[in-house]
Amino acid sequence: MKVGVYYNNSDVRLEDQPVPAVGDDDILVKVMASGICGSDLLEWYRVKRAPIVLGHELTGKIVQIGKNIKKFKVGDRVFSTHHVPCGECWYCLTDHETACEVFQGTNNFDPGGFSQFLKVSGRSVKTGTLTLPDNMSYETGTFIEPLATVIRAFRTIDIQPGESIMIFGAGLAGILFVKLAKVFGAGNIIVSDINKYRMKMAKKSGAGLTIPFGKDIPQFIKKNNCRLADKVIISTGALAAAAAALKCVDKGGTVLFFAVSKPEDKIAVDFNHYWRNDISFKTCYGAAPLDNNQALELLRTGAVSVEEMITHRFKIEDIGDAFKTAALPDHALKVIVEPN
């Protein structure tokens, strides 16, 4: 089978690998669509594991099942995720499933979503694979995982109707934040990015205000929102965005680090202001089974529409061009690889 092997962002090669052998508790999926995630483009994070077959936002059709599989059958159209919590440890039982050691330490995909066929094993079969509704396309299904991470983020910061939300970064996740904020009944939705195309997409998706990064954002918010934002979401790894975000949160508000910068990047914080004004800092990573199920339902019902976010489609033979396109934000939002 053909696979896309990642060496770095500008070097993703088409190579041949054998189709994985399926064990008694595994399923083999013919991959029909696989989205390029922003995390796939974090070269500092990915290159240390290269060469590797990436791809975790995927859908496909089951073509083979192990003899112990009762939940699925050949021909089922499915979404699957590579990280699944154990459901039994302290972290899982206290609603911190993505901090679970099983979640963080196990990859149940062989080799990865940027391949023609994918073996799914372990907990990713039991609780990480969902049957796609008949009315959901393979392409729409690739949004289940990214939307699920945004759902988990909103749960983490307890979004309330009418609250104002400031989002730094208008990439795929940033736009999904805008769309979900509308579903949650948020008040003013404010977005800042350096890219005009992505801010245009944010506005089209429901943002009330868009602010070019670099302006006096806190004063702009106060002028247009009467006060600073209740919830501030950092959806970009740019350190400057994190520094700006800390200045945009109102008293009693919350700052969420959804994306983070490189490990060596540091930011100095004087906590006196936040301590005196009851301001919280939160983090969010990944998505748990509940989040995936809720994302599927929001997509199934059309409460969150995503088709217009797909800007590019590539065959597996053009995987290198797909990554190069996804790394250039001027006209790309959601890039999908279609291996078959």
* pLDDT tens by residue, 261-294: 888 888 889 999 999 999 999 999 999 999 999 9
Residue indicated by tokens 């500008």: 10
Which residues belong to CATH 3.90.180.10 in the chain? Answer: 2-143+306-338
| Confidence tier at 214 by pLDDT (50, 70, 90) | confident
Residue 113 and residue 31: Cα distance in Å, rounded? 7
Residue 287 and residue 290: Cα distance in Å, rounded? 8
Percent of the chain with pLDDT over 90: 90
pLDDT digits (tens, 9 = 90+) for 155-210: 999 999 999 999 999 999 999 999 999 999 999 999 999 999 999 999 999 999 99
Which residues belong to CATH 3.40.50.720 in the chain? Answer: 150-283
Residue 106 and residue 134: Cα distance in Å, rounded? 30
Please state which architecture CATH assigns to domain 2-143+306-338.
Answer: Alpha-Beta Complex (3.90)
Q: Is residue 299 within 8 Å of 291, Cβ to Cβ? A: no
Prediction pTM value: 0.96
Residues paired with residue 119 on neighbouring β-strands, in sequence order: 28, 110
pLDDT digits (tens, 9 = 90+) for 41-92: 888 888 888 999 999 999 999 999 999 999 999 999 999 999 999 999 999 9
Q: Across all residues in the chain, what is the average pLDDT? A: 95
Query: What superfamily does domain 150-283 belong to in CATH?
Result: NAD(P)-binding Rossmann-like Domain (3.40.50.720)
Average confidence (pLDDT) over 139-143: 98
- What's residue 331's pLDDT? 84
Reduced to 3 states, what is the DSSP secondary structure of residue 56? coil
